Amino acid sequence: MSNVVGMNEFVGMANGNLHCWLCQKAVSTRALFCHHCGTIQPVRDIDHFARLGLERRIDIDMDLLDHQYAALSRTLDPQRFMIRGMGERGHAAKQLEALNVSYEVLREPLRRGRYWLELNEKMSNKAGDGHPFVKELRSELDIAANPAHCDRVAQRAGQALEQGIMGLMQALRGQKWQEANAALLELDGLEAILGDVRTRRLKLMPEKEGKAGVVGVD
């Protein structure tokens, strides 16, 4: 028969291999509920895109992601399972947990980029010796003598981070895996610097200002 759609795209359909934990009827890997008995199902091994009901692509519609997440999480609201048995309550809680993880991964471009590389089995495990620009910022931060200097480092890192994310996405779209891995290394370095800036800035703050910033009010 002609016109057969790629079968691997439909692996998730109910095919008799997976069964409802309660009624033992066939269920789809993507199904949250058994369509035979209506019972919430355990978390299955599906990718983050499938968990949110999104097409698997690096450029996702962020509004759609938010709306899908909202719709799915409403259904998994623990309040709605209060009167159910332990098993159902447990599965619902785990489904919600898995949904939250998937949402966080897909929502943040950097995490999504990393996940995309993993999904495509193109993730490089090379640690690398650091990007020149990251090294430069690191040196600058090491000699920063006041909070204003730290802010300048943070600003440069922030700008580079924004540009880097765009570069990462472009590389992923073009399936330039090496470029993407390099971009990811730089972005990791920039994120680490931003974290260190915060710590160093607090140390360099005058005592009174620092206390207010760190400790807050009692």
Partner 1 sequence: MIYMDYNATTPMKPAVRAAVLEAMERYGNPSSVHRYGRIARRYVEEARAAVAALAGVKPAQVIFTSSGTEANNMIFAGLPGTHFITSAIEHDSVLASTPNAQRLPVTTDGVIDLSAAEQILKVAPTQSLISVMLVNNETGIIQPVTELAKLAKAYGHKMHTDAVQAAGKLPIDFADLGVDFLTLSAHKIAGPQGMGALIVSEKAVLQPMLRGGGQEMNRRAGTENVAGIVGFGVAAQLAVDDLRDVPQQSLLRDELQKSLQDIAGSDAIVIGVKAPRVANTLCIAMPGISSETQVMAMDLGGVAVSAGSACSSGKVKVSHVLRAMGCDDDVAGAAMRISLGWKTKISDINLCIDAWRSLYQRTHKNPQSAAA
Binding residues for partner 1, per CB under 8 A? 1-7, 9-10, 12-13, 25, 28, 30-38, 49-56, 64, 67-68, 70-72, 74-75, 77, 80
CA distance 164 to 43: 34
Measured from the CB atom, is 11 or 148 closer to partner 1?
11
Measured from the CB atom, is 25 or 152 closer to partner 1?
25
CA distance 151 to 136: 15
Contact 193, 142 (CB under 8 A): no
Specify burial of residue 94 (Cβ count, 10 A radius: 0-12, 13-18, 19+): middle
Please, which residues have CB within 8 angstroms of residue 189's CB and are 6 or more apart in sequence? Answer: 130, 131, 134, 138
Measured from the CB atom, is 92 or 150 closer to partner 1?
92
Minimal distance in Å, beta carbon 56 to partner 1?
7
Please, which residues have CB within 8 angstroms of residue 109's CB and are 6 or more apart in sequence? Answer: 165, 168, 169
Supply 167's token pair.
Answer: 């570069």
Minimal distance in Å, beta carbon 110 to partner 1?
24
Minimal distance in Å, beta carbon 105 to partner 1?
17
Measured from the CB atom, is 64 or 166 closer to partner 1?
64
Minimal distance in Å, beta carbon 2 to partner 1?
8
Minimal distance in Å, beta carbon 203 to partner 1?
44
Measured from the CB atom, is 67 or 111 closer to partner 1?
67
Contact 101, 93 (CB under 8 A): no
